Amino acid sequence: MSGQSSFEDMRRRARFRELHTAILEGNLPEIKNILESDSCKEQLQYQDVAGTTPLMVTVMIGRYDFVRLLLSKRASTRTKCFRKKTAADHARATVWTTHKLNFYALLDFQIPKADEREKRRISETLRYPAALWSCRHIGKHPLSRAVIFKRGAKLQVLNAMTRIKPSVFTPGKQGPNLIAATSGFITSVTNPVVIQQAAISGWTSNPGRGPKVLDNEKYTEMVREISRLWGFKLRKSMRDNGSFVPLPEHRGRFAACHIEKKLTVWWVEKAMNQVLGTTDLRRLGDLHDAKLPRDLSEAKLFMNHRPCHDCWKFLFKIFKITGIRIRVETIKLAVEGKREKPLNGCANCSCDRCLRKQELDQPFPRGPTARDEH
C-alpha cells in the first residue's frame, strides 16, 4: 500500500494532469472522453514540471493513433518544453528522450516498446507542414471510409455511405499492372461526395483511359515543368530510366509520376483556367494574389498509399506559390481474388503441406504385443 501511495505522490510532484496520465497508461477511451470534455483546450496546453505537453509525451512513447487524436483537436506543435524542445525534437531518438522514458518507468507506467514504423510516421507528420495539416483532418470527410476496389480493367470507389453510388473509372491499365500501381482521386471541400478526377501512378501513356482519368505522360511532364520553373528539385531515383544507363533527360521522372503531384498539378491547372483564363505555368504565382473561392483554394486527395517525403515537400511548395492547400488521406485498397482452397478448410486439400499434416494426424501404428499373440 505504501508503494502505491509513493507512486501517486511522485506523479503529483511531476504535476501530471488527467490527459498525461491517460496517455502514459494507454487508456484510449479515457483520452477520447477528455478530448470531448470542456477542459480539452486547457489540458492540451498544460505543461508538467518539465514543461512537457501531452503531445510531447505521446510523441516520445511512439503512439501515432494518439498523436492523430491530439492533432485533430488542434494540439500545438510549436510549444517548447523547459529545455527549448518542440514535439518534433522529441520525435528524434535522443538521450533526453531516453531519460524521460526511464523516468516514466520509475513512476510505474508500463510503456511498451514503440513500433519503428509508427515513430517514423510521427516524425514525418511533425516534420512536413503538408503532412501536419493533412493529419489534422483525417477521418472528417464523407469519403474517409471509402475503399478503392481494383477489378479487371476498372477502378471502383466504394463508399460506406449507402446513399452515394459507387464511382467507376477506366484507368487505362489492367491486371497486375493496375494492381501494382498506386491509385487515387481528388475532390472539393465544398462538394465532397463528387470525385473530380482520378489517377494512377506511372509516366507512360495510358490509352483507353476514361474521361475522368489523368493522362500519365502529359501530367508527369507538367510536374517536371513546374519543378523546373519554380525551383523545386525532384529527387533522383534508380527507377528514372528503363535501363541501367542513366539518362539526364529522365532525371526525376519516377518522383514526378506519383499521383499526389499529378492530381495537384491538375487542380492548379483547373484553378488557373477558371480564375486567370490561362494555363501558362509561368503565371502560377498569380494565383496567390487572386481571391480564390473555397472550392478552389482547398481540396482533398485520397489514395491507397502513404505519400513519400518528396510529395509532402511538393504540396507545401505549391501552397507557398499559389495558396492552394491540398490535404491527403490514405484509404483502404481491395483487389479481386479467388479462393484457392475449399470452403471447408484443409480436409480436401491436396497441397504438400496439408498432406504432411494429415499423415502426422494419423495414429501411430502399434506393433504386436504379448496379449495379441495369446
CATH number of the domain enclosing 80? 1.25.40.20
- Structural contact between residues 124 and 315, judged by C-beta atoms closer than 8 angstroms: no
Same domain for 102 and 224?
Answer: no
In a domain, 357, yes or no: no
Euclidean distance between CA atoms 266 and 256, whole angstroms:
13
pLDDT single digits (tens) 11-40: 778 888 899 999 999 999 999 999 999 999
Same domain for 153 and 261?
Answer: yes
Same domain for 201 and 327?
Answer: yes
- Structural contact between residues 168 and 156, judged by C-beta atoms closer than 8 angstroms: yes
Same domain for 97 and 198?
Answer: no
Same domain for 112 and 156?
Answer: no
Same domain for 160 and 261?
Answer: yes
Position 374 pLDDT exceeds 70: no
Alpha helices in the chain (DSSP H): 2-13, 18-25, 28-35, 40-45, 54-61, 64-72, 87-90, 95-106, 116-127, 129-135, 176-180, 216-229, 253-256, 259-275, 286-289, 294-297, 309-322, 352-361, 370-373
In a domain, 360, yes or no: no
* Exposed/middle/buried for residue 88 (C-beta within 10 Å: 0-12, 13-18, 19+): middle
Query: In the listed set 127, 158, 187, which residue is the last one of a domain according to the structure?
Result: 127
In a domain, 137, yes or no: no
Q: Domain residues for 122?
A: 2-127
Segment 283-292 shows an average pLDDT of 91
Spell out the residues 6+ positions from residue 298 whose beta carbon is closer than 8 angstroms to its own: 188, 189, 324, 325, 326, 327
In a domain, 136, yes or no: no
Number of domains making up the chain: 2
Least confident of 104-113, 154-163, 206-215, 280-289: 154-163
Same domain for 66 and 201?
Answer: no
Same domain for 258 and 113?
Answer: no
Segment 143-171 shows an average pLDDT of 83
Euclidean distance between CA atoms 231 and 277, whole angstroms:
24
Least confident of 19-33, 117-131, 170-184, 289-303: 170-184
Amino acid in position 16: F
Euclidean distance between CA atoms 356 and 363, whole angstroms:
14
Highest mean pLDDT among 100-109, 139-148, 335-344: 139-148
In a domain, 317, yes or no: yes
Segment 339-354 shows an average pLDDT of 58
Euclidean distance between CA atoms 172 and 201, whole angstroms:
11
Position 54 pLDDT exceeds 90: yes
In a domain, 362, yes or no: no
Comparing 368 with 324, the larger pLDDT belongs to 324
- Structural contact between residues 267 and 354, judged by C-beta atoms closer than 8 angstroms: no
pLDDT single digits (tens) 351-363: 666 666 666 665 5
In a domain, 347, yes or no: no
In a domain, 142, yes or no: no
Query: In the listed set 78, 95, 127, which residue is the last one of a domain according to the structure?
Result: 127
Cα torsion 30, 36, 41, 47 to 10°: value is 0
Sign of the torsion angle spanned by Cα atoms 123, 130, 52, 109? negative
Same domain for 97 and 189?
Answer: no
- Structural contact between residues 195 and 187, judged by C-beta atoms closer than 8 angstroms: yes
- Tell which residue, 349, 286, 359, has the closest CA to residue 323: 286
Same domain for 65 and 156?
Answer: no
Same domain for 200 and 322?
Answer: yes
Give the residue carrying C-alpha cell 477558371: 274
Same domain for 240 and 283?
Answer: yes
